[in-house]
């Protein structure tokens, strides 16, 4: 079945450092890929998405490129801020079973220190 | 435009009691999804409903758990005879069309269930 694997956290960085959170997926068909962010005590918010191979999703300085050849969707940001501290979830939907259901990775906690 | 509304925000139940979690989707959304987040884990899909229909319940435990989304009113996730292992955050999400590629899910802030 479809699945998503993320790098384990926590990831601890200093402010203005470069961020990469790795995400790989297994899916049949052609899924859409997403990054969601969860701040403490809140629900998930969509950060960015990509719906086909080679698409780049971007928002708030974060980027991720849909790489079909490596089945990856790594999240990057050039310069993190303390306010970026949160849990980040990679997810997929669609493929051969397009009910809109999201399959999530286990989440990666990011801690940014001033 | 109000987002996905879940209530209660926090719910405490003793073992053996029933828990009812409510979710009002965003205006215009007729597709609802329930997820469970155990401590230090990701979100696990439970059930997908449209108005008056369960479309996919492949993630629902076979016993004690049920869900509905009536024609009028919120979606309800019901857990009977709760046990400590049911303690988790339960998130509801909605979308207008159920086609995730073009209509990403919008999540509520969750209900945190604690079973004592």
- HEC readout, chain A: CCEEEECCCCEEEECCCCEEECEEEECCCCEEEEEEEECCCCCEEEEEEECCCCCEEEECCEEEECECCCCECCEEECCCCHHHCEEEEEEEEECCECCCCCEECCCEEEEEEC
For residue A43, what pLDDT band results from cuts at 50, 70 and 90?
A: confident
CA dist B70 and B29 (Å) reads 13
Residue A93 has pLDDT above 60, yes or no: yes
**Residues of B whose CB is below 8 A from A105:** 42
Yes or no, beta carbons of B44 and A104 under 8 Å apart = yes
Q: Mean pLDDT by 10-residue block, N- to C-terminus, for chain B (116 residues)? A: 89 98 94 90 90 92 95 96 96 80 81 96
pLDDT at A97 over 70: no
Contact between chains at A44 and B100 (C-beta distance less than 8 A) = no
Residue A9: which pLDDT band, with cuts at 50, 70 and 90? confident
Rounded to whole angstroms, the Cα distance separating B108 from B6 reads: 6
| A34 contacts B103? CB cut-off 8 A | no
Two structure tokens written together for B70:
């009536």
Q: Chain A interface, mutation test: which of B21, B37, B42, most A Cβ atoms within 10 Å? A: B42
Cβ contact, residue pair B4, A43, below 8 Å: yes
Would the CB atoms of A46 and B106 count as touching at under 8 Å?
yes
What average pLDDT score do residues A78-101 get? 86
Residues from chain B that touch A103, judged by Cβ atoms under 8 A, are 45
Contacts of B97 in chain A (CB under 8 A): 100
């Amino acid at each position: 079945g479809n699945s998503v694997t993320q790098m384990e956290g926590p990831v601890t960085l200093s402010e203005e450092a470069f961020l990469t959170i790795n995400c790989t997926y297994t899916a049949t068909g052609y899924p859409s890929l997403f990054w969601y962010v969860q701040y403490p005590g809140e629900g998930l918010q969509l950060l960015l998405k990509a719906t086909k191979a080679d698409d780049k999703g971007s928002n708030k300085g974060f980027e991720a490129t849909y790489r079909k050849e490596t089945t990856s969707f790594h999240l990057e940001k050039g310069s993190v801020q303390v306010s970026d501290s949160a849990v980040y979830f990679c997810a997929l939907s669609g493929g051969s079973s397009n009910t809109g259901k999201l399959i999530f990775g286990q989440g990666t906690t990011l801690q940014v220190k001033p | 435009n109000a987002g996905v509304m879940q209530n209660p925000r926090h719910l405490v139940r003793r073992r053996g009691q029933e828990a009812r979690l409510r979710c009002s989707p965003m205006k215009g959304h007729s597709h609802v999804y329930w997820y469970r987040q155990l401590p230090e884990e990701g979100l696990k899909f439970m059930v997908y409903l449209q108005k008056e229909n369960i479309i996919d319940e492949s993630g629902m435990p076979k016993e004690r758990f049920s869900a509905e989304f009536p024609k009028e009113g919120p979606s309800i996730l019901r857990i009977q005879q709760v046990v400590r292992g049911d303690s988790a955050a339960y998130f509801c999400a909605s979308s207008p069309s159920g086609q995730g590629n073009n209509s990403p899910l919008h999540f509520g802030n969750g209900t945190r269930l604690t079973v004592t």
